[in-house]
Amino acid sequence: MGLKGKGNFINKIRRTLFRDKDQEDSGFLSFRVLYLCIFLPPVLYIFTLQGLEKYLHNSWSQEMSARLVSDMTGVATGQIRLQDEVRKNVEQFMAENRLKNLGVVIQTGVRTAQGRQLYPVFSLDPGFADNGGPSGDDHLAELRKTLVAGENISILQEGLVFNMSVRIPHNTWLSNLILIFYILSFSLVLYRSYQSRMIRSQMFREEQNRKLEQARSRLEQAQKALNEFSGKETVYAREMDRLRKDLAAADDRLKITEEEALAELESLEKKLTEATAQREHQEMEILELSDHLEKLSTDLKVLDKKKHKMFNLQHKRFSTLYKKLKFHDRAVQGFLNLPEDLQLKAEELIHTLNEDIKKVSVKRKVFSRGSTTAFETEFGYRGRLYWSRNQQGLAEVMAMGTKNTQSRDLKYIEGVNTS
């Protein structure tokens, strides 16, 4: 390869794309995780309602069957009608059941094995109702108890059949609580997956930066070596031309030194061949390094685009969840740069600031000019959150970071307040 190929190598550095076999797209959420977090909550919600209905039906049916006739002595002696005892126990069970307030619909029915309806009773026949006769009618009262006892025993001999229907309609307190539980649970799974992807993306970006710096260093060294060998090639070529001219002029009168001159010429040609081969090797190495450098540059642009997308998503998320707060761009970017454990602590502090600003402890005032005062609040020992109140009395989150970024955050806050 000649000297004019040097310009082509520099142009290829600006054109060639890098390709790294170990690269992985770690800036996006997994499609399977996103699909499951969307698909599973409604499915689990439906199956949970059905399972809960079946469980409550079996549990309450067993409980109610056991306490259907609690005062067996009174029923057997005729002091109370069996229908009244059944109605009292069923209504007591319904009144004690707190799940009805959450939207559970319970329908019950009691009949005999022969189909005689005991509860609910739609007959207007008072039966053997006790009208509280005078104390002198003891014989009539005893007769009444005997008749009621006979009727009760007759019903018990037929056998009692208890039926219960339990249903949990949609859009009730209980069904909505179940749905919200699944939505929040899978939102947490989605959030943890997002945090994991963010950490992997940051590690990949740092690795790409390291490789880029190494490639640039090697490229500079290769370019320097190429320039050095190109200069030597020119010197050797000129020396060969000079020796050829001297050899031709002295050919007739210096026959004795012809062999020495040829040997020197051969030595120079050998050196020229070695220099050319070494230069071509350097040019190939520069070509490979230029390919690798452009690929790393392209990967960094892709990562910057993904990072900007994640910034917009996080800013939108904060604006949606914390409507009482205003977030500066530096605060959102600082939150994304925090480790996962500090992000959880930071969001806990943001939630408190959004709900009740009086519950937020202030470490110190970091800036005060006119009506604007900026405060510093710690979280997670190493974390720092800087905020202030605007003219409407709402909190503005100006910056977030750690002790390592404290000086830059304070400089930013000073610039915002003086502008």
Q: Is the dihedral of CA 314, 318, 321, 323 positive or negative?
A: negative
**Boundary residue ending a domain (318, 343, 377):** 318
Structural domain span for residue 397: 322-418
The answer as to whether 194 is a domain residue is: no
User: Are 145 and 270 found together in one domain?
Assistant: no
Containing 91, the helix (H) or strand (E) segment is helix 82-96
pLDDT in tens, 285-337: 777 776 667 666 665 666 677 778 888 888 898 888 888 888 898 988 989 88
Q: Work out how many domains the chain is built from and give that number.
A: 3
Are both 172 and 44 inside the same structural domain?
yes
- Same domain, residue pair 66 and 157: yes
Of residues 125 and 392, more confidence is placed in: 392
Q: Do the beta carbons of residue 27 and residue 310 sit within 8 Å? A: yes
Q: Is residue 12 part of a domain?
A: yes
pLDDT in tens, 353-405: 888 888 888 888 887 665 578 889 888 888 989 988 877 778 888 899 988 88
pLDDT of 126: 46
List, for residues 31-70, the tens digit of each pLDDT value.
Answer: 888 888 888 899 998 999 999 999 998 988 888 888 888 7
Evaluate whether residue 14 is within a structural domain.
yes
Residues 38 and 168 in one domain: yes
Per the domain annotation, does 251 fall within a domain?
yes
> Does some domain include residue 278?
yes
Confirm whether 193 is domain-assigned.
no
Domain co-membership, 270 together with 360: no
Residue that finishes a domain, picked among 318, 349, 373: 318
Return the higher-pLDDT residue of 10 and 168. 168
Can you give the pLDDT at residue 55?
Answer: 93
Long-range contacts of the stretch 198-207 (C-beta < 8 A, 24+):
198/310, 198/336, 199/340, 200/24, 200/26, 201/26, 201/27, 201/303, 201/306, 201/307, 204/23, 204/24, 204/26, 204/303, 205/300, 205/303, 205/307
The overall average pLDDT reported for the chain is 79
Q: Is this prediction's pTM over 0.85?
A: no
User: Which of 126-130, 263-267, 329-333 is predicted with the least confidence, judged by mean pLDDT?
Assistant: 126-130
Same domain, 145 and 283: no
Of 285, 301, 318, the position where a domain reaches its end is 318
Task: State what percent of residues in the chain have pLDDT above 90.
Answer: 6
Q: Is residue 286 part of a domain?
A: yes
Does pLDDT of 230 surpass 80? no
Judge if 17 and 65 occupy the same domain: no
Which tops the pLDDT comparison, 180 or 122? 180
| 188 lies in some domain | no
Do 287 and 333 fall into the same domain? no
How far, in Å, CA of 99 to CA of 149, rounded? 36
Are 163 and 227 within one domain?
no
- Specify whether 37 is located in the same domain as 147: yes
Whether residue 387 is found in the same domain as residue 311: no
Are residues 411 and 274 part of one domain? Answer: no
Report how far residue 348's alpha carbon sits from residue 352's, in angstroms, rounded to the nearest whole number: 6
Total residue length of the chain: 419
Residues 338 and 180: their CA atoms lie apart, in Å, by: 29
pLDDT digits (tens, 9 = 90+) for 157-176: 888 888 888 999 989 998 89
In this structure, what CATH number is given to the domain that contains residue 386? 3.30.2310.20
